Structure 1
Amino acid sequence: MQSRSSGQRTGRPRSAAADAAILEATRSALVELGWSRLTLGDVATRAGVAKTTLYRRWAGKNELVVDAVAALFDELELPDRGSLAADIEGVVLQFATILSRPETKTALMAVVAEGTRDEPLRERIRTSIVDRQKRLVLAGRARATARGELPPQPDPEAAARAADLIFDVVAGAVVHRTLVSSKPVDANWARDFTRLLLSGLIATSPS
């Protein structure tokens, strides 16, 4: 007989519908109540689930809110628009659209502010949001390499460092433009930003 120490989950399986309802209720509560007044009990009521359901899934408010934000950014996709420039523009416009939603603004600003005082929360933000979205950079580079737009990167460590830098540049620029400067990220801005990004990316690519 297999012991519980093997790491296998026991009990009833998680419900994807319940998880989605809980995360949606979390974002709604954040918009209405703000971080300080948000409680797991309020989220449970809004989601129509028992508080024990939340506590079985999330250890506390920090983890729940980060996952609620991460689910929004998981909507990002890498479009195949025929060129690296067009693909980047598509991702930038998607990202800006997600950031413009009230629930994204409130939730992201809340977790970033709380993360300045909480190292475990910062780590969860990195693993649940930042690291997950770096997949788009890696996929975009691989597609551009297959098209012949960028040279191959044989060094995995150099490729990982480049992906980190590209992600930081794109995310930092779009977040600053949308949430700090409160200026629009339209097609013209996305095109100009992409040209600037590609000029640096091509210049630093190994020959």
Structure 2
Amino acid sequence: METVLEAATKEANGTVAEKKPTVVFVLGGPGSGKGTQCANIVQHFGYTHLSAGDLLRAEIKSGSENGTMIQNMIKEGKIVPSEVTIKLLQRAMAESGNDKFLIDGFPRNEENRAAFEDVTKIEPAFVLFFDCSEEEMERRLLSRNQGREDDNIETIRKRFKVFLESSLPVIEHYNSREKVRKIDAASPVEEVFESVKVVFTSKDEKAV
């Protein structure tokens, strides 16, 4: 018997693939300002912002069977399988009614990337890469008062290391296909968004 999620995903799969949506992967280290810029892109260009981490957290919160499985994996320090995250992304894409998506914090590694293209049959239009020095990201993370437990210097450095080791191969892969749009994320927020606008406008996006 297939689970409700599997049935919904099958349906979502068909719907999402048929629509041939525009997908933009948003990558950048912790503290590179991805979230802020995604909110700006949503407002100006009508994209739907999907954060892989938020979808996983929401699924855990829902108390579903799938959510419990995800929670147990995270507790045990295991990486949630690509397929699980991809199913959640597909379901959110199908439910959104939109055909333009910013996928934030995914793919985290080469395996995620290959699985996403394989399962969804979708290649991103491009990858928006927020390039920021470790010093600047560290400064930002330490100064933001969100009370996040993971914002201490040791954990921050571990997160940088993981980002570099796992995400750089993804960036290199898309770079070789001329799909990476690199943004200097060290500038003030407004200046960064000016650079972002250039990327989206040159993609023939119409501001909403």
- Comparing both chains, which one has the higher relative contact order based on Cα–Cα distances under 8 Å and sequence gaps of 6 or more? 2
- Flag the structure with higher helix content: 1
Structure of greater Rg: 1
The TM-score bracket by the shorter chain reads: under 0.3
- Flag the structure with higher strand content: 2
Q: TM-score normalized by structure 2?
A: 0.27
